[in-house]
């Protein structure tokens, strides 16, 4: 790195000695293009097309800003070539320096400032012998005398001032490299050149033409576009996920948005932790973005900058007395794995609660059956996809996810759990499914519907086999567990995470003819799902067919899980109310979310009733802390306790945030008689302490708000 640093500075100095200052900087304005090229060829890193396109006005604008400088007409051809080559060599050298400096700073205790100080010392040691050999003391003395005679005795102070300011400039710029990507660093350097070009034109009295101003404006516009496209989703070495690629395709989200920045928790996590503290929550569930830790999946190195970020987030949470709940997979995987293997179609002590997967039952359905989430695979009547098999692939993907969960639990139990004293589980999406009638057929259909949804994932993990309803209907379509698989599945889990939002009626489609719809096909379970019975909704309907307000469904869901899985400890890991965002609403209307308050109140009442009756529920997370990027809905749906103005990223508490804060304060001291065994009573101290927990996806994801 020090060699590249030295060559870059020497080449740039030689270039400026041969040609006009502005010409050198025009050539050096191409540094971002070299950064992209070197990143691609040496590191295999790719960027969205918008990033590539935004570099065109940046580089072109810089060239236009000085293309009319009259000094160009006086440059001899030899000097022009020498100046051009010097600037080009400087570009290549500095790009190598930036990229490998960034890699060198990752995961190390050395800061950008100290790193540059080390480079300066090494560069001095490298350059001094070279300078002595090429020029020598005699040439130095002659050059010094010539400079003093032309400029005067103040030349000494000019040299000192230039050295100090040049060193400070580079040291400050390296402090920024510690926080941004090498490409962004190069873009910043190019914008610096706009100032240099304009300044040189003014200082050397070169006539200014409209092209100069127009070029500067174009470059500034290009930089603005780049800043919008690069976002946190590529910050600090993060790789592309399948959702990064998916959401940049037109029509992927309802409002055309993507999650590049979302709520920008990557840069605003301290502010968000303060918001959590303000409403007195004691736990926070977040996802680790796979591509932030392993940018290329199983290929390439661990991205220490990503690990450092999550460590900072965890430390900030613990400092405020907030326990982190960490999800390892929330729908996004490195695009590299998707490209090479087809995703799921191919077979630390501060954190006390680990979640392997979020909603695998939902994920495989929307990604491999309906094809509306990446990798967008489906077939036949299920959707319009270029490839896929909706009848088989969901079961293959789910099977591999279950085995991946078992492998992760096995590693955690054998290597970390004893030392960390933590616990590990999985999260499933569970709608309450009520028989449409009292008939035996509808009751069996409701049970079958749960087996093809929740039990599909939990039965193999807890019982070592798929539900009997699935085995009977699917036969050979359902993958089989080997004896080795079953041994790993014996590791089970420590808790079940429940994401619950809504309830539905279910009727039988084996002995009755059903209209087409979710659940009706053989591979979905031969049942029909509806939110109405004799024209009467099961609960208050919302603009979304998957969300309604039936608080009793919370208690019924908990009791079902309690009975089927022997009261395995549970967490309500997601529960919340979403509303369509109306940009014409006033700020007061955005903040007065009384329907969200009513939804939460009813569901929490039923949750506490379940606990009184003996259900081992150990906490509740509301979805979500902030309005955020809601997958294919984009920003058109809002779930947050805090309103987010995505133009400014300003967070403002809604009525629900105030209500939730009061609820937490009240139930921290409210005693509830829990019908558990003595050990559980001791663990809970005969109280339910409204484990006011929050969940948000970075964006990451995220984090997805993910983060």
Contact 65/211 with Cβ under 8 angstroms? yes
- φ, ψ of residue 426 to 5 degrees: the values are -135, 155
Residue 267 has pLDDT above 90, yes or no: no
Residue 526 has pLDDT above 60, yes or no: yes
Terminal alpha carbon distance of the chain: 33
Residue 40 has pLDDT above 90, yes or no: no
Residue 393 has pLDDT above 70, yes or no: yes
Q: In terms of pLDDT, which residue wins out, 586 or 416?
A: 586
Query: Over the stretch 420-442, which tens digit does the pLDDT of each residue have?
Result: 889 999 999 999 999 999 999 99
Q: How much of the chain exceeds pLDDT 70, in percent?
A: 74
258 pLDDT band, cuts 50/70/90, is: very low
According to the model, what pLDDT value does residue 162 have? Answer: 80
CA distance 266 to 269: 6
Q: Which domains does the chain have, with CATH numbers?
A: 2-230 (no CATH), 242-706 (3.20.20.80)
Residue 349 has pLDDT above 70, yes or no: no
Q: In terms of pLDDT, which residue wins out, 651 or 23?
A: 651
Question: What are the residue numbers of the active site?
Answer: 359, 574
Q: Which residue has the tokens 């050990």?
A: 679
Other CB atoms within 10 A of residue 156 CB: 13
* HSE-up (13 A, CA, CB side) for residue 258: 21
According to the model, what pLDDT value does residue 240 have? Answer: 59
Query: Per-residue pLDDT averaged across 213-222, rounded?
Result: 67
Query: Over the stretch 450-478, which tens digit does the pLDDT of each residue have?
Result: 999 999 999 999 999 999 999 999 999 99
Show Cβ contacts of residue 334 under 8 Å, excluding neighbours closer than 6 positions.
239, 240, 241, 242, 290, 291, 294, 295, 296, 297
Q: Where are the beta strands (DSSP E) in 380-488?
A: 423-429, 432-435
According to the model, what pLDDT value does residue 343 have? Answer: 41
Q: What is the DSSP string of 45-75?
A: ----HHHHHHHHHHHHHHHHHHTT-GGGGG-
Query: Over the stretch 102-155, which tens digit does the pLDDT of each residue have?
Result: 777 654 456 777 888 888 889 889 888 888 887 777 777 777 778 777 777 787
498 pLDDT band, cuts 50/70/90, is: very high
According to the model, what pLDDT value does residue 606 have? Answer: 97
According to the model, what pLDDT value does residue 338 have? Answer: 43
Nearest CA to 550 out of 517, 505, 612 is that of 505
Mean pLDDT in the chain?
79
Residue 209 has pLDDT above 50, yes or no: yes
Highest mean pLDDT (candidates 166-175, 486-495, 566-575): 566-575
Indicate the range of 10-19, 263-272, 498-507 predicted with least confidence.
Answer: 263-272
> What pTM value is reported for the model?
0.63
Nearest CA to 123 out of 236, 237, 13 is that of 13
Residue 351 has pLDDT above 60, yes or no: yes
156 pLDDT band, cuts 50/70/90, is: confident
CA distance 392 to 333: 21
């Amino acid at each position: 790195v020090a060699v590249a640093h030295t060559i870059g500075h020497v080449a740039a100095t030689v270039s400026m000695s041969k040609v006009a200052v502005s010409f050198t900087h025009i050539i050096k304005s191409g540094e971002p293009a070299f950064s992209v090229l070197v990143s691609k060829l040496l590191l295999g890193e790719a960027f969205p097309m918008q990033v590539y396109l935004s570099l065109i006005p940046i580089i072109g604008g810089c060239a236009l800003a000085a293309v009319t400088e009259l000094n160009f007409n006086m440059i001899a051809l030899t000097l022009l070539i020498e100046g051009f080559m010097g600037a080009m060599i400087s570009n290549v050298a500095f790009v190598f320096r930036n990229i490998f400096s960034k890699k060198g700073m990752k995961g190390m205790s050395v800061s950008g400032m100290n790193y540059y100080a080390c480079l300066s010392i090494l560069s001095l040691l490298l350059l001094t012998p070279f300078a002595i050999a090429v020029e020598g003391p005699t040439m130095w003395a002659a050059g010094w005398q010539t400079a003093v005679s032309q400029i005067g005795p103040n030349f000494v102070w000019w040299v000192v001032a230039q050295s100090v300011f040049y060193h400070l400039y580079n040291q400050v710029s390296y402090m920024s490299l510690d926080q941004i990507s090498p490409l962004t660093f190069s873009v910043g350097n190019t914008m610096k050149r706009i100032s240099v070009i304009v300044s040189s034109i003014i200082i050397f009295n070169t006539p200014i033409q409209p092209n100069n101003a127009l070029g500067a404006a174009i470059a500034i516009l290009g930089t603005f576009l780049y800043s919008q496209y690069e976002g946190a989703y590529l910050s600090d070495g993060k790789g592309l996920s399948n959702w990064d690629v998916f959401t940049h395709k037109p029509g992927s989200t309802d409002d055309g948005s993507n999650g590049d920045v979302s709520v920008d928790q990557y840069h605003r996590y301290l502010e968000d932790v303060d918001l959590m503290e303000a409403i007195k929550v004691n736990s926070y569930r977040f996802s680790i973005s796979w591509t932030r830790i392993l940018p290329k999946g199983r290929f390439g190195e661990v991205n220490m900058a990503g690990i450092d970020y999550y460590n900072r987030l965890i430390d900030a949470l613990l400092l405020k007395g907030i326990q982190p709940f960490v999800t390892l997979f929330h729908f996004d995987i490195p695009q590299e794995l998707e490209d090479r293997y087809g995703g799921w179609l191919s077979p630390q002590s501060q954190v006390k609660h680990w979640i392997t997967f979020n909603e695998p039952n939902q994920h495989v359905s929307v990604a491999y059956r309906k094809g509306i989430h990446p990798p967008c695979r489906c077939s036949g009547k299920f959707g319009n996809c270029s490839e896929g098999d909706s009848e088989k692939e969901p079961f293959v993907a789910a099977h591999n996810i279950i085995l991946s969960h078992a492998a992760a639990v096995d590693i955690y139990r054998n290597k970390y759990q004893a030392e960390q004293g933590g616990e590990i589980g999985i999260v499933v999406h569970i709608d309450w499914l009520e028989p449409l009638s009292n008939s035996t057929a509808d009751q069996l259909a409701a049970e079958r519907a749960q087996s093809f949804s929740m039990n599909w994932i939990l039965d193999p993990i807890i019982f070592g086999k798929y539900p009997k309803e699935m085995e009977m209907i699917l036969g050979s379509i359902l993958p089989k567990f080997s004896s080795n698989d079953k041994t790993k599945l014996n590791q089970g889990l420590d808790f079940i995470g429940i994401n619950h939002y809504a309830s539905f009626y279910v009727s039988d489609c084996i002995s009755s003819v059903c209209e087409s719809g979710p659940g009706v096909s053989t591979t979905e379970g031969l049942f029909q799902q509806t939110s109405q019975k004799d024209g009467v909704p099961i609960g208050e309907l919302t603009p979304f067919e998957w969300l309604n307000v039936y608080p009793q469904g919370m208690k019924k869901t908990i009791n079902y899980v309690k009975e089927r899985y022997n009261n395995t400890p549970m967490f309500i890991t997601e529960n919340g109310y979403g509303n369509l965002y109306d940009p014409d609403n006033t700020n007061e209307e955005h903040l007065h979310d009384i329907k969200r308050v009513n939804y939460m109140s009813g569901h929490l009442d039923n949750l506490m009733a379940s606990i009184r009756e003996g259900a081992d529920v150990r906490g509740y997370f509301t979805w979500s802390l902030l309005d955020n990027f809601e997958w294919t809905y984009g920003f058109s749906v809002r779930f947050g306790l805090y309103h987010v103005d995505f133009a400014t990223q300003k967070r403002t508490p809604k009525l629900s945030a105030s209500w939730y804060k009061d609820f937490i304060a009240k139930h921290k001291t409210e005693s509830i008689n829990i019908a558990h065994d003595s050990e559980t009573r001791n663990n809970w101290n005969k109280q339910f302490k409204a484990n006011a927990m929050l969940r948000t996806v970075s964006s990451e994801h995220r984090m997805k708000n993910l983060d």
